[in-house]
Chain A
Amino acid sequence: MSQLLLGYASRLLGCQSRSGSAATTAAAAAILSQQPVRHKSPLQKVRKRGPFPEWTKTDPDPHLFTRHIPKTDERRTKAVRPPGKYQIFSVHYDPIVNSFAGHFVKCGERDKLRDVFTQMMAEIKHIQMARRNAAPPEEKASIEVDPTRVIHKAVENCSPLLIIKHVFRGGFLYKVPCPLRESESQMRAFKFLRIASNVRGTKEHLYRSLARELVNASNNEGKAVHAKLQLHKTCEENRAYANYRIT
């Protein structure tokens, strides 16, 4: 046992010698004479129940070495949620576009969808640039060409503020307008856009119909925005039952 402890101590000191030289033994003895410290796991101090903060750029990248971070730095023990499965560390990464892509995935074929989205964003550029070339000079600046910004605007325009939930009360089914969380509102927007871009049969590719629908929605036109406005209208009609909601 003492041999094991000596070996441990010598490794701590960084020397590889197995033969007990005088200096090594003395140093090892010095370490061993100290009071044994019970090393608690550092995470024990900070372990708590969620929700944990999102991973940000200042937190250590899980793919890089961490030896250069000092041991007492709070980054070593800070509890953060691990990055998402499809969250890439790229200058071009956009969380809304990423979630939008995830909404369209069928049978787990996300790679196939990546190509569709690349074509779709190029198509948005083509549509908007053609429109900008044809527009009079005073309107040119107001036409947005960047596909990421067009998608943001379209999603914002399609996001409902209230949603109808069905509440069964006293033998009747009431349509009750309820508020939405931000993530749910975004999901509803994605769903409106997806359903609006569905074209029957193989007449048109998804990238083309989706690009057209996004451009329309960013201008507050089109089927997706119409669906959102219909929902708002239904909520307005049923506002008398708002107090029936179950939060």
Chain B
Amino acid sequence: RSIANWLLRRRQLSPFGACVNRRGGASAALLTDESAPDRHSLDRHVGLLYRPEEADWQAVTRHFCRPELVRLFDTLGQRALMVRRPALEIGERLAEHAGDGRPCLRFVLYGRRGSGKSLQMGHVASACRRRGWLLVTVHNAHLWMRHSRELHESAHRPGMFDTAGYGCIWLRHFYAMNQEILPGLRVTKELSWNAKESTPAGSSWKEVIDYALARPRYSCAAVQFLIDEIKLGSLPMPTLVCFEVANCLWWHRSGIKNDAIRRTPLQGEEPPWRADITAKQLTLLDAFKQLLDSDWNNGAAVMSVSPQGALFDRLREWMPRKLLGDEGFAYLDPFVPVYVEPYGPAEMSNMLNWYTESGWLTSEAAATDAGRAELAFLSDGNAGELLRIAGEW
């Protein structure tokens, strides 16, 4: 009898014991009415769920979510995201930092795969968008390295390669995200595309983007020109750079071989030796890497390093030093590391309550104490794992 009691007491003292409510079963999810991310504060809103506004969701936050999460929200007909500490802390620092004339402040979000780094970046990005900042966000850089659509030798940067398709996609995405701000921005110097064509100084950014979308060959050059403009520091508003999976910028290998280049071989030319194209040879990635440097003012950069973007030799690592390697760490140093921790008991409880309330957890076992404790144990506080496992319950 005493041993059984000892075991029961141990289970109640587990770190996820708080997921088990005193009344038993699920209770109401704790939501906040504050749907504006820039008004969330550390003392009032941590651990609560908020419903993002439609405009914010479509323009910004949707891109930071996993496709499974977007599909879940579509099926349930409602959206709820959790307000957590890392995003609010970064948001507070950025609010103080803007317009100071200090160099670009860099944050690196790190954590296990599925812990919620991208969604924290999404919260920061939508808060900055509401404050009127310009957003430069990159989500799929590691996919650009694994799959190549078309690769051309670059004209504006000799010795490197252009990925025209991805450049066009990114420009469209950039335009959709910053539609309100872009009409007011002008190019300060003349941009020459080739020997004959150029865009004069003083033309709007929209014209540059339209030109590049009409002539995809110059899309990467357009991205480079816009980034040069941002780095001059003469924009009327601060810039936020969000780069997901930043550790792919220092890959020494990739999924692209250098005979993927579409060109006619010269007479008598031997087929090239099949070497991997590294991130340093891609103009698009190098352009964004320049933005992560600290030699420009009036902006900030938030990056995440993830094992999802790691090469085969580093698949189990999740710390920044290991994922970035020597070169990446030296480039980004000094940065502010921000740890995205697993859910605590209160957050886990709230998340389970919301899943039950919205109807995603359909099993009767999921509403019981034992079921909730099991869900908390199986996911181990990992937000992504909980999303995956809750599909079954």
Q: Which residues of A contact B (CB under 8 A)?
A: 64-65, 67-68, 90-92, 117-119, 121-122, 125-126, 129-130, 133, 145-148
Contact = CB atoms under 8 A, between A and B. Distances in A.
B75 A91 contact: no
A118 B388 contact: yes
Contact of A91 (B3, B76, B360, B368): B368
A140 to B, nearest CB: 12
Interface string B318-347: 000000000000000000000000000000
B384 to A, nearest CB: 13
28 contacts: A64-B7, A65-B4, A68-B2, A68-B4, A91-B368, A91-B370, A91-B374, A92-B366, A92-B374, A92-B393, A117-B392, A118-B388, A118-B389, A118-B391, A119-B391, A121-B391, A122-B68, A122-B388, A122-B391, A122-B392, A125-B75, A125-B362, A129-B75, A129-B76, A129-B359, A145-B362, A147-B392, A148-B363
B265 interface: no
B1 interface: yes
Contacts of A148: 363
Interface in B183-216: none
B252 interface: no
Nearest to B5: A68
Contacts of B3: 65, 67-68
A90 B368 CA distance: 12
B365 A146 contact: no
A92 B365 contact: yes
Contacts of A119: 391
B310 to A, nearest CB: 20
A126 B1 CA distance: 46
A181 to B, nearest CB: 29
Interface of B: 1-4, 7, 68, 71, 75-77, 359-360, 362-363, 365-366, 368, 370-371, 374, 388-389, 391-393
A125 B391 contact: yes
A167 B374 CA distance: 51
A67 B363 CA distance: 35
A133 B359 CA distance: 13
A90 B76 CA distance: 27
Nearest to B4: A68
Contacts of A145: 359, 362
A121 B393 CA distance: 8
Given A90-B374, A91-B370, A117-B392, 15 more contacts: A65-B4, A68-B1, A68-B3, A91-B368, A92-B392, A121-B392, A122-B388, A122-B392, A125-B75, A126-B71, A129-B75, A133-B75, A145-B359, A146-B362, A148-B363
A49 B2 CA distance: 36
A66 to B, nearest CB: 9
A129 B2 CA distance: 48
Interface centre among B1, B3, B362, B371 (most CB of A within 10 A): B362
Nearest to A122: B391
A148 B4 CA distance: 32
B337 to A, nearest CB: 31
